[in-house]
Structure 1
Amino acid sequence: MKRYPPQRIVCLTEETVETLYLLGEDARIVGVSGYAVRPARVRREKPRVSAFTSADIPKILALEPDLVFTFSDLQADIAAELIRAGIAVHAFNQRDVAGILAMIRTVGALVGAAEKAEALARRYEARLADIARAAAGRARPRVFFEEWDEPLISGIGWVSELVSIAGGDDVFPGLAGEKAAKDRLVAPELVIAAAPDVILASWCGKKVRPEKIAARPGWQEIPAVRDGRIVEIKSPLILQPGPAALTDGLDAIVAALRG
């Protein structure tokens, strides 16, 4: 890192972008992922320099960043190339709610806004606790969260936790701890056997088609299909392990489970 706190930050995933805006530190951002959509004004305020597994390295270097935020092993090659070019990189790898809260606190510490980050994280912790208390005592629907359709992929850790906080029970809790999507593959017949009451679907970059889900062979006997409880959760709200998941994403799950 050339300066502390860093004055020029590039964020290669959405959740660190939203966190910096929420902390009032968005003036430090000089480049963002093309998937950054929160807040909406980010798309007109900040230059886009990457997708998820690819990035415009020369464009990033031209921005002369003091620090670049990356996420997960899927951006490891990008991170390595930037490090070889002499750029300071912080790679996050949060996969659960505790990790999201830690990410918020770490971003705050790295930009000299630790107190603001602590206050933000504590507000989220209180919010999660309030929602969990509100769900206590209610009937808990069985939930299948479909992260992708071909092949079927079950929800990752933070998604499963948020389903539980919202008052539901993930039908494949044992898969939620698997970080890689390939390790969360589910056979269609296992979903039939699990008999979820609600199907939540979020296909990253692709609109969910409930009628396509309902038409799968044998799925007509699933309670969620029979009762018309197939609900799309927009991927920017739930598949980014950051503030969006703890706010609008969680609210969408609560609404779906009560609907």
Structure 2
Amino acid sequence: MTDIRNNADHYPQRIVCLTEEPTEVLYALGEEHRIVGISGFTVRPPRARKEKPKVSAFTSAKIDEILKLQPDFVIGFSDIQADIARELIKAGVEVWISNHRSVDGILAYIRRLGAMVGAAEKAEAYAQKAEQQIARIEAAAAQFKRRPKVYFEEWDEPLITGIQWVAELIRIAGGEDVFPRMSGESLAKHRILADAGEVVDAAPDIILGSWCGKRFRPERVAAREGWDAIPAVRDGELYEIKSPIILQPGPAALFDGLEAMHGIFAAWDRGQRG
């Protein structure tokens, strides 16, 4: 009897990625040939924007354009894309919506996605590389004289604090998130600070801004009423972390996002040592 496994690839051949993280993972695993459509917000890897048609935003998608691509698998993220998923499922398309919000969740996501496309070994190696990066930075951060208190701002009007994986990466990088109780809220509307005075009271040593879709303006933050009393404002410790490397629950956050935060915290620590 002929082994049919030698005659066909039984894994998805035509994948549409509704967000950036599956695109980044598949490229990293050398499985980019399976991708036939991507999110318009994709910036990593840069070549993906040149090679793949853009068929979705985050909360909306060109359903007709996606169907024309004849996908056998569509990958999305979070309840926010539930409506897109429903339309595609009604059209007979297989859809996987992940909903991870933690560092462990990102690592598991890499492994699951790799297994789904028949690249489990490559995915395991890639996940282990990320784990090694995390361990290296965590060990370096353990040498800090003092861990800086950190306020992470995801949006400015209204003020929105960081999500779970961001708070966890802050800790790994050597800082202490000043609003840890809020990071567990998956929806941004539940992470809104009703009173900006809470940040003043928290007295962060460092302020990190990543305003999704627009440039972080530290001078505007520093000019907020009463914020001149905050150590971070007083000492000029306000920094932007580019949203593509921190606000996507994918490899970018574990590699570039974590590295960027640790660099800022390490410089602050050196300053504390005089």
TM-score (norm 2): 0.93
Identity across the alignment (%): 63
Look up the SS of the partner of 1:191 in the other structure: helix
Aligned to 2:185, the other structure's residue is in SS state: coil
Is the counterpart of residue 94 in structure 1 residue 100 in structure 2? yes
* Pair 1:66 & 2:75 matched: no
Q: Which amino acid aligns with 1:91?
A: I
Are 2:113 and 1:144 aligned? no
| Runs of 4+ residues deviating >6 angstroms | none
- Aligned pairs, how many? 257
Deviation at 1:256, TM superposition (A): 1.6
Measured against aligned partners, the alpha-carbon deviations of 1:74-127 in whole angstroms (never above 9, x if no partner) come to 000000000000000000111000110011001101100011101111111111
Partner of 2:4: none
Q: CA deviation at 1:130?
A: 1.1
2:206 maps to which residue?
Answer: 198
Counterpart of 1:188 in structure 2: which amino acid?
A
Residue 4 of structure 1 and its aligned partner are, at CA, apart by: 2.6
Residue in 2 aligned with 1:18?
24
- Counterparts of 1:219 and 1:255 in 2: how far apart (Å)? 24
Post-superposition Cα deviations, 1:118-175, rounded to whole Å, max 9, x if no partner, equal: 1111111111011101110311000000000000011000000000000000000111
**Any stretches of 5+ residues in structure 2 without a counterpart?**
1-8, 268-274
**SS of the residue 1:145 aligns to:** strand
Deviation at 1:258?
A: 2.2
Q: CA RMSD in A?
A: 0.8
1:39 matched residue in structure 2? 45
Residue in 2 that maps onto 1:180: 187
Query: Superposition pairs for residues 121-160 of structure 1, below 5 Å?
Result: 121-138=127-144, 139-160=146-167
Match of 2:259?
251
Report if aligned partners of 2:141, 2:266 keep a CA contact under 8 Å in 1. no
Bigger radius of gyration, 1 or 2?
2
SS of residue matched to 1:41: helix
SS of 1:247 mapped into structure 2? helix
Superposed CA deviations along residues 198-249 of structure 1, whole A, max 9, x for unmatched, are: 0000000000100000000000000000000000000001000000000111
> Aligned-pair distance for 1:71?
0.4
SS in structure 2 of the partner of residue 42 of structure 1: helix
Corresponding residue for residue 243 of structure 2: 235
Q: Helix, strand or coil: the match of 2:46? A: coil
Which of 77, 81, 88 pairs up with 1:75? 81
Matched residues in 2 for 1:111 and 1:193: separation? 49
Equivalent residue number for residue 110 of structure 2: 104
